[in-house]
Structure 1
Amino acid sequence: MSKPHIVVIMADQLRYDALGAHTPHLSALAAQSVTLDRAYCASPLCLPARGAFFTGRYPSATGCLINPWEPSEQRHGHVRAGTPSLYSLLEGDWDSWHTGKQHLLLEDRPDKRDDARTHWLSLAGNYDRHLREHGKRKPGGPAFQGIVPEMARGTRTRAMRYSIPMTGIYEEGFAHFFDGYIANRTIEALRDRDTSKPLLLNAMFVAPHPPLEVPEPWYSRVREARLPDNVGVWAEGQSPLQLYNLPGFVGSRYTREDWARIWPVYLGLVSLLDDCVGMIIEELKRQGIYDETLIVFTSDHGEMLGSHGLWQKMCMYEESVRTPLWFKFPASAGLAPRRVAQPASAIDVLPTICDYAGVPAPAGLDGHSLMPLLRGEPAEARDIFIQYDGNGARGNFQRCILDERYKLIVDLFKDELYIELYDASGGDPQEMTNLSLEPDKGPIIELMLAELREHMAATGDLLHLPEAAYETFVQRYGA
């Protein structure tokens, strides 16, 4: 098999259920793809999610746990030097390009080296220069941010400014918006590529990540949205520790009526993303390589958008951790479009690409190739693990294990611990009924906690779950 062209398109903070009539290009791509209906990120936060995605390793194994805004904890925001990534594995034989958001931070910073073999057209620096040259302002600003308390190192609380669900029109227009700029640079990359080599393109978009200041016509494109029933609802049995975390601290202030005004703007931003993807597909077709290209479409994580009364991500509910994950194969692969119901993790993408492209995968990966599953062959079900260690600093911790029957969430803040157990088989899709205090669920929870501890030890997790975690939880929160 000749080496395929490979295009990875990643959205930022895209809910798995945010596609529809306003996303015709993505809907068409999905119809031509093998789609995984239950795909999950490895962490509901940008840097650790992308570090895991591009290396095939869990965050604790890469060392990238947080967004490193706290100077004393910057080492926890970088993938350890020497860790193989999709870029380093393919950039020798493929003509490798990166466009857009650069949230794969490796300690050895290959994107900053003069001898870099990947063409790094990152947003950082280049976009600010573009705005200065054209006399335009960046989307967002103080009105789109709010003060949020954040625990740093488990010892002190600091006041930080993070995005809130404020909406507005970005009057500077598409070409100067984050994703318009990224889309235009991506088309330039496709036209500047070395046509003597197969293409590797990683196009990293910002949309639909806030700020929700969106250019027209996308700001007004979606007039109304049907809200899921759990939007604006704090469920009985939901972890109260979320109120110490950004999603609950911000999201609990907004009513269902507020979210009804916010949702259409978010979906308008998803529509803008859809048009950007359409631009890439159109250029691939213009160059006659669309049918020779493996296209992987996904998001780094999801967005709560009011579900459970929460905002942004940074939690383990489906809206935050479940992502779209599609593989549109070259025509020669003979893989018909189909939907896969078995759970999969973002750490499985790198070994899958290596398997399909005929590239030896590095030893010791946590992820596994999905190719047997994508071909429709029987594949052993595996547990999915997800972790969260804090946003700009370590302080709020969550661990999650998901099997085909249940999802177990352990939420920790300072000396408190809260446990949630949800039916993952389809009986409670919006996760509104926490089963953790039902008497017959104790053995199930203890077994899942044991599997979670085993996983944490194997990946070098810095966090330790007490052996009496469930007993303590029941004593504190039981009747």
Structure 2
Amino acid sequence: MAALGFPYADTPNLDRLVAEGVSFTQCHVTAPSCVPSRASLFNGHYPHTTGVLANGQPWQRTWVEQLRDAGYRCVNVGKMHTIPYNSDSGFHERYVVENKDRYLEGRWYFDEWDKALAANGLVKQQREGYRQRDDYRERLGAFDWELPERLHSDAFVGDMARWWVDTYPKAEPLFLQVGFPGPHPPYDPPARYSEPYLARDDLPLPDPSRAELDRLPAALKEKRHHDVAVDHDSVSWSLDPKPEQMRRMWAHYLGNVTLIDEKVGQLLGSLKERGYLDDAVVIFTSDHGECLGDHGLSQKWSMYDVVTRVPTIAWSTAGRFAGGRRVDGLCQWFDLGPTILELAGIAPPTTFEARSLLPALEGRPWEPRTHVFCEQGGDVALSGTEFITGVRGERWKLVHFKGSEQGQLFDLAADPDEVDNLWDDPAHLDMRRALLDVIRDWLIESNVRTRDRQAATR
């Protein structure tokens, strides 16, 4: 987003939310992939507590049930990523739209988007078709959406959310969750969104050095090779992408961001016209970030800030809190759960490991977290390790790979881009031990706090 420090992006509607709302600039997910991150957010617990550690694991119970029981009309349009996809998860209504490319996952579930395409005699663009292209392996997951624009997944979700707001009898109080599938790969906006970015020659394309690539832990080196051999989400990666490939990928990714920004603006217009914004809080955020060639990597599943740090903006025109502010203290993405419950006048469960951000929103005394944590089990594109644990303070970050003597240690003050791995530097062994101790104490405290907690699937 331009307003959050990326001036290359065309995001006027999101920039407005930043200018008039409260931005948490150091909000970090608890898992660097979709399913465990979302299960953690909607359960108020870390992944090791929910039992959801990687994509594909079942989960369905959420704190949305508390909103429903308190009288809120609870509606989901788009991606939630519950498994099973169609569990109610506390919502009165769900209009499910899942990932853009679900072709080979073995989970045959026809969502609202599939049905809309079928009603128009069409099938979504996905691996099955993309693989027939002569230039498939050169595209790095960047393609033009060639079907009707209104049937692009993000346009479809945005328009369906507007349709619900415009046509359903006004429901108050309302909890509306809108899940845009993008800019998840494949990076496939209609060409009119990517073309302005393709015309630019100043995009800050990553260019990792050979020294950085050689120093990557074995698990991430394995991931680089895995992503070349296996085309997850229609992304066939390259160990040495050409500048023109990178520029095209970035242009399509940013084009998808601009498409989402446009749909956010339109949805806000409908909410305003129907009177919902007279007393409402709007939160815009994301379940993880993305490596777009950063550190030589593709997609998610690593613990770099480009993956774990996500935009988190709360905005209200109803005077609920003063806008135009940034909160720079560390917080976790799942902290939004108790925040939303408290905004609705509901006491969060005392077992929650998530902590409400409402004091920070309202300008009251608030203590940032001293450390944030991130967990990831071995996954479809993470075959080189069984489990990764990350801990990040204001200055230092450590990443632990289960069963390996290798790890990552970064001094974020001296090295904000996380290039210089100090794990094996004798001068920093004390810091390495100290952060490993932080992980140990965190896990012990978590296990004690959640000893009566049931799994997220129950």
* Same fold per superposition (TM over 0.5): yes
How far does the alpha carbon of each residue in 1:398-441 deviate from its partner, in whole angstroms, 9 at most, with x for none? 110011121111134xx43421111234x322111112222231
| Counterpart mapping for 1:11-410 below 5 A | 20-68=8-56, 77-79=57-59, 83=61, 85-92=62-69, 93-105=71-83, 109-110=87-88, 117-123=91-97, 124-142=110-128, 144=130, 165-222=140-197, 223-224=199-200, 226-228=202-204, 230-233=206-209, 235=212, 237-245=215-223, 249-250=227-228, 251=237, 253-255=239-241, 257=243, 258-382=245-369, 383-392=371-380, 395=383, 396=385, 397-410=387-400
Relative to 1, partners in 2 of residues 1:45 and 1:331: Cα closer, same or farther, differing over 3 Å? Answer: same
Match of 1:467 in 2: none
How far does the alpha carbon of each residue in 1:263-287 deviate from its partner, in whole angstroms, 9 at most, with x for none? 1111111111111111111111222
**For residues 163 and 300 of structure 1, what CA distance do their matches in structure 2 show?**
28
User: Which has the larger displacement, 97-106 or 293-302?
Assistant: 97-106
Shift of 1:442: 1.2
Is this contact kept in 1: 2:339–2:356, CA < 8 A?
yes
**For residues 321 and 402 of structure 1, what CA distance do their matches in structure 2 show?**
10
Relative to 1, partners in 2 of residues 1:237 and 1:377: Cα closer, same or farther, differing over 3 Å? Answer: farther
**For residues 256 and 384 of structure 1, what CA distance do their matches in structure 2 show?**
35
Is this contact kept in 2: 1:39–1:343, CA < 8 A?
yes
Kindly report structure 1 stretches of 4+ aligned residues shifted beyond 6 Å.
Answer: none
Is this contact kept in 1: 2:205–2:247, CA < 8 A?
no
How far does the alpha carbon of each residue in 1:365-397 deviate from its partner, in whole angstroms, 9 at most, with x for none? 111011222233443332100011122498532
Shift of 1:218: 1.4
Question: In structure 2, what residue type is equivalent to 1:420?
Answer: Q
**For residues 433 and 393 of structure 1, what CA distance do their matches in structure 2 show?**
24
Relative to 1, partners in 2 of residues 1:377 and 1:444: Cα closer, same or farther, differing over 3 Å? Answer: farther
Is this contact kept in 2: 1:99–1:204, CA < 8 A?
yes
- For these two proteins, the number of residue pairs brought into alignment is 415
Shift of 1:167: 2.0
- Unaligned 5+ runs, structure 2: 98-109, 229-236, 449-458
Q: Percent identity?
A: 27
User: Which has the larger displacement, 287-296 or 382-391?
Assistant: 287-296
**For residues 157 and 188 of structure 2, what CA distance do their matches in structure 1 show?**
17
How far does the alpha carbon of each residue in 1:136-180 deviate from its partner, in whole angstroms, 9 at most, with x for none? 22023246579xxxxxxxxxxxxxxx9972322221122111111
Structure (1/2) with the larger strand percentage: 1
**For residues 302 and 268 of structure 2, what CA distance do their matches in structure 1 show?**
33
Relative to 1, partners in 2 of residues 1:58 and 1:208: Cα closer, same or farther, differing over 3 Å? Answer: same
1:449 aligns to 2:436 (yes or no): yes
Is this contact kept in 1: 2:27–2:309, CA < 8 A?
yes
Shift of 1:29: 1.4
Q: State the secondary structure of the residue aligned to 1:444.
A: helix
Question: TM-score with structure 2 length normalisation?
Answer: 0.83
Q: State the secondary structure of the residue aligned to 1:420.
A: strand
Is this contact kept in 2: 1:232–1:255, CA < 8 A?
no
How far does the alpha carbon of each residue in 1:188-210 deviate from its partner, in whole angstroms, 9 at most, with x for none? 12124442521110000011111
Q: State the secondary structure of the residue aligned to 2:410.
A: strand
**For residues 195 and 283 of structure 2, what CA distance do their matches in structure 1 show?**
29
**For residues 338 and 197 of structure 1, what CA distance do their matches in structure 2 show?**
28
- Unaligned 5+ runs, structure 1: 1-10, 69-76, 147-161, 462-479
Q: State the secondary structure of the residue aligned to 1:320.
A: helix
Is this contact kept in 1: 2:34–2:55, CA < 8 A?
yes
Q: State the secondary structure of the residue aligned to 1:202.
A: strand
**For residues 405 and 131 of structure 2, what CA distance do their matches in structure 1 show?**
29
Relative to 1, partners in 2 of residues 1:424 and 1:378: Cα closer, same or farther, differing over 3 Å? Answer: farther
Question: In structure 2, what residue type is equivalent to 1:121?
Answer: Y
Root-mean-square deviation (CA, aligned residues, Å) is: 2.9
**For residues 237 and 38 of structure 1, what CA distance do their matches in structure 2 show?**
27
Relative to 1, partners in 2 of residues 1:86 and 1:139: Cα closer, same or farther, differing over 3 Å? Answer: farther
**For residues 125 and 316 of structure 1, what CA distance do their matches in structure 2 show?**
31
Is this contact kept in 1: 2:140–2:238, CA < 8 A?
no
**For residues 436 and 35 of structure 2, what CA distance do their matches in structure 1 show?**
26
Question: In structure 2, what residue type is equivalent to 1:344?
Answer: C
Q: State the secondary structure of the residue aligned to 1:409.
A: strand
Match of 2:418 in 1: 431
Is this contact kept in 1: 2:321–2:363, CA < 8 A?
no
Is this contact kept in 1: 2:23–2:326, CA < 8 A?
yes
Question: In structure 2, what residue type is equivalent to 1:90?
Answer: L
